[in-house]
Structure 1
Amino acid sequence: MATPSGSRRFESMADPLVDSNRPPHRVPVGPVQPASPIRFSKL
């Protein structure tokens, strides 16, 4: 059935599709660093 390697391959293919809906996990450090503390502060 769906093996771990297959799942990872599927995620890679869906990466661009998911990028449209929400930001990918590999985001630049610039916009992420300032947003991280701000989000934690609000929480």
Structure 2
Amino acid sequence: PKPAYQQPGPAREYGVRLWDLNVRFHYPQPGSIRVLSVMPCSTS
């Protein structure tokens, strides 16, 4: 999720931890999302 006042740029990357995964994504164009990677979270 992103704040409504932010306009996503194609070069900006976002990330979220989903259970035990680290998901990285970006918005290549308005109205679409591209997942860049899904990696296991490090257990430190």
Per the normalisation by structure 2, the TM-score is: 0.19
Higher relative contact order at CA 8 Å, sep ≥6: structure 1 or structure 2?
Answer: 2
Per the normalisation by structure 1, the TM-score is: 0.19
Higher strand share: 2
Higher helix share: 1
Structure showing greater Rg: 1
